Amino acid sequence: MVGCAATSETTAPQPDASAHQRLQQLTSEHDELAKALADAPAAHVESCRSTAGDCLFQVGDSRSRLTAQLRLNACDNDGDFASKSRCVIGQLQSAGRVRELGEYLKVENWCFSQLSACTAEKADAASRATLDALAAARKQELEAAPAAVAARSAVATTRARIEYLRATLPPDVPACKPESSFAECSARVETERKALDASMSGADYAPSAAAERYASLQRMEDECSRPELDCLSAIVRSYGVFPESRKWVDRNLDLLAKRQELAGRVSPANGARCVAALQQEHQAGIVSAYVAYVREPVLYFRTQLDKAFLSLHQAQVSCLAARPQTAPAKPAVAAKR
């Protein structure tokens, strides 16, 4: 009877299909994470090793246990963590250590995902910083354009006129308070301003369109205050301003417009000095005239009050006119995105 000859060779156990699939998944995930780290700026990776790289110590412990247990090359001569990773993984693959390779990949994937998230966050921050710088340069150029300066001057003039007229009325006058429409109008202006600011860093930014939008925004803001100014201009007639004395009010209003125009031509520091310092210098005279007018609101004292303001506004205009004018803004160099 002829029997089958026994063989001394044994077949190495093969991993089941599910284990092989899991290993492929871990390997694919590892390759993606390793590539993301390799593609990240070296400075970002190094920074993340300091702030989010504590997990590399656990990876090192896992690598040390494997190399000692399986008598592998410790890969100590490899410089960075990526090189050590390739060294150990290559040995495990060559030795067919599927289980150990899978366990090691899990640890590295967990750690590499933390480092990758950190570098991605730094890349986003760098991108935002670049876009912010681009938006700031565009906004500076936009706001320095002569048309933009004039548009802002108109808004400032309206507010200055309102402040002046209110400052010449008795303190108990309840009329001409801003209505709810002013708050609604101001809210629309703020919404439009935020939208314009947001567009500054866009790839489709067009300077001419932005300039038109900015001018429209300033006109809208000016219109918000117009009803209050018109009301105050009309109501002063009830408080000692008659046709023959209206000229003093009108001269002050004209000087305020001139003051804002000149303020837009000088540096902010020079403008502030001319306006604020002279305001302080003339404040005592204005307060004295105002007290006399409130005590007896007749034409004479009203005229003295307007003349006190006139002295202030003339001094401010003269100061601003004597200051060196700022050079026209040069077009900003387009920032690279």
| Alpha carbons 260 and 257: distance in angstroms, whole number | 5
Considering the domain boundaries, does residue 140 fall inside one? no
| Alpha carbons 243 and 252: distance in angstroms, whole number | 15
Considering the domain boundaries, does residue 10 fall inside one? no
Considering the domain boundaries, does residue 2 fall inside one? no
Where among 128, 159, 192 does a domain terminate?
128
pLDDT for residue 309: 97
114 and 203 belong to one structural domain: no
257 and 196 belong to one structural domain: yes
Contacts of 102 (CB under 8 A, 6+ apart): 19, 22, 23, 26
182 and 225 belong to one structural domain: yes
Where among 128, 160, 184 does a domain terminate?
128
Helix axes 299-322, 246-263, angle to 10 degrees: 20
Distances (CA, A) of 104 to 19, 93, 109, 319: 14, 11, 9, 76
| Alpha carbons 39 and 46: distance in angstroms, whole number | 13
198 and 73 belong to one structural domain: no
Considering the domain boundaries, does residue 83 fall inside one? yes
232 and 113 belong to one structural domain: no
CA 232, distance to chain mean position in Å, is: 37
74 and 170 belong to one structural domain: no
Considering the domain boundaries, does residue 331 fall inside one? no
CA angle 48, 49, 54 (to 5 degrees): 115
Considering the domain boundaries, does residue 137 fall inside one? no
CA 145, distance to chain mean position in Å, is: 21
pLDDT for residue 18: 81
Q: How many domains does the chain have?
A: 2
Contact 251, 310 (CB under 8 A): yes
150 and 112 belong to one structural domain: no
Q: What is the pLDDT along the chain (337 residues), one digit of tens a residue?
A: 444 444 434 344 555 678 788 989 999 999 999 999 999 999 999 999 888 878 888 888 888 888 888 888 878 776 688 888 888 888 888 888 888 888 989 998 999 999 999 999 999 999 999 999 999 999 999 998 989 989 999 999 999 999 999 999 888 777 787 777 889 999 999 999 999 999 999 999 999 999 999 999 999 999 999 999 999 988 887 777 777 778 999 999 999 999 999 998 999 899 999 999 999 999 999 999 999 999 998 889 999 999 999 999 999 999 999 999 885 545 444 444 3
Where among 128, 160, 176 does a domain terminate?
128
Per-residue H/E/C for 143-160: HHCHHHHHHHHHHHHHHH
Parent domain of 83:
22-128
Considering the domain boundaries, does residue 3 fall inside one? no
112 and 30 belong to one structural domain: yes
CA angle 257, 223, 314 (to 5 degrees): 10
288 and 151 belong to one structural domain: yes
| Alpha carbons 209 and 217: distance in angstroms, whole number | 12
37 and 99 belong to one structural domain: yes
Considering the domain boundaries, does residue 181 fall inside one? yes
Contact 58, 107 (CB under 8 A): yes
178 and 282 belong to one structural domain: yes
306 and 223 belong to one structural domain: yes
